[in-house]
């Protein structure tokens, strides 16, 4: 079931022309056998932190946060600026540079005792989904702060499939300060044989959220930027790609691994029979157990 955050926190971000603003974090403490590992979760486009803490639907529990806290991990799920409970700046002013820098500062601060009162973490992992993974990679390449980096449902291999957006459609959406992916477009997030239609409806009616257009635009450009800095990431990286994810299908796993040439360790996990929004598929625990095992291996707690 979806959890209630023990603590709701706010963290600073500087956005040009917008003054000092805050973005929200939702802290869910480990429930048993605390492992000293904090996962900082960064949602993707058209979501807020609830992507990581979805409700139970038809008897199926879709909360990643509930699963991970039950496995002994502490979890901090953020709302990106303008989304969820975060401050809402003018959408075109929200840049990848500002967001990436703020997330890096947050991760660095969490390595200090009592940044979250009463808690100390031995290992801080930065975990991103889709656009949130792009932001996480960008941040870690420029301002290294995480002990490990987990990238799900995105990739940068230059010969990956091109965008499925029809010409001009995405550009029209980005003309608004806050862009919202249309409901029909979000059907591409799913591999139908592993998706409950009621979950897709819940996703479109409850979870679907607009995102600042400036941030989305910057993340589009990052995908094709030869100076994006992927080779500058040095911490261990765990990459999950879905077999039926149109963004970067799992068949490109080895090509994607190769772009992280400086990482101390790069593991790629190709998940069969799953689409883009891993957490909302019937076989979601295949993703969750892979992340759990990677983190336990990194921390010597297997």
Q: Residue 136, SS3?
A: helix
Alpha-carbon torsion, ordered 246, 250, 252, 257, to 10 deg: 120
Query: Residue 2 domain-assigned?
Result: no
Of the ranges 35-49, 59-73, 110-124, which one carries the lowest mean pLDDT score?
A: 110-124
Query: Residue 61 domain-assigned?
Result: yes
Query: Residue 200 domain-assigned?
Result: yes
Query: Residue 1 domain-assigned?
Result: no
Query: Residue 80 domain-assigned?
Result: yes
By residue range, what is the domain housing residue 90?
A: 7-298
Contact in structure between 270 and 182 (CB atoms under 8 Å): no
Contact in structure between 90 and 177 (CB atoms under 8 Å): yes
Sheet with 237-242: list strands edge to edge: 7-15, 19-28, 74-78, 37-42, 123-129, 148-152, 237-242, 266-271
Report the number of distinct structural domains present in the chain: 1
CATH code where residue 42 lies: 3.40.50.1820
Alpha-carbon torsion, ordered 243, 244, 247, 250, to 10 deg: 10
For 78, half-sphere exposure in the C-beta direction (CA atoms, 13 angstrom radius) is 31
Query: Residue 249 domain-assigned?
Result: yes
Query: Residue 263 domain-assigned?
Result: yes
Question: What's the pLDDT score for residue 1?
Answer: 66
Query: Residue 169 domain-assigned?
Result: yes
User: Mind listing the pLDDT tens digit for each residue in 180-234?
Assistant: 999 998 999 999 999 999 999 999 999 999 999 999 999 999 988 867 778 899 9
Indicate whether this model's pTM tops 0.85. Answer: yes
Question: What's the pLDDT score for residue 17?
Answer: 86
Looking at the DSSP assignment, which residues form a beta bridge with residue 240?
152, 269
């Amino acid at each position: 079931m979806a959890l209630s955050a023990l603590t709701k926190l706010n963290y600073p971000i500087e956005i040009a022309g917008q003054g000092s603003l805050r973005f929200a974090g939702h802290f869910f403490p480990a429930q048993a056998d605390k492992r000293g590992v904090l996962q900082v979760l960064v949602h993707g486009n058209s979501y807020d932190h609830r992507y990581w803490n979805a409700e139970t639907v038809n008897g199926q529990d879709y909360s990643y946060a509930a699963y991970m806290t039950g496995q002994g991990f502490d979890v901090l799920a953020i709302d990106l600026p303008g989304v969820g409970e975060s401050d809402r700046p003018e959408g075109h002013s929200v840049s990848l540079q500002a967001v990436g820098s703020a997330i890096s500062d947050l991760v660095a601060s969490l390595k200090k005792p009592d940044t979250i009162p009463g808690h100390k973490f031995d290992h801080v992992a930065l975990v991103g989904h889709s656009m949130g993974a792009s932001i996480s990679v960008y941040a870690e390449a420029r301002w290294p702060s995480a002990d490990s980096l987990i990238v799900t449902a995105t990739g940068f291999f230059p010969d990956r499939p091109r965008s499925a957006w029809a010409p001009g459609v995405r550009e029209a959406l980005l003309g608004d300060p806050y862009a919202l992916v249309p409901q029909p477009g979000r059907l591409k997030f799913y591999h139908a044989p592993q998706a409950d239609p009621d979950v897709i409806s819940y996703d479109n009616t409850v979870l679907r959220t607009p995102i600042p257009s400036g941030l989305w635009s910057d993340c589009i450009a990052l995908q094709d930027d030869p100076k994006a800095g992927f080779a500058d990431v040095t911490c261990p990286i765990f990459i999950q790609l879905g077999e039926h994810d149109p963004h970067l299908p799992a068949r490109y796993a080895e090509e994607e691994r190769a772009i992280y040439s400086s990482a101390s360790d790069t593991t790629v996990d190709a998940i069969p029979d799953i689409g883009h929004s891993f957490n909302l598929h019937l076989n979601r625990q295949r993703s969750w157990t892979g992340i759990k095992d990677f983190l336990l291996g990194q921390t010597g707690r297997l």
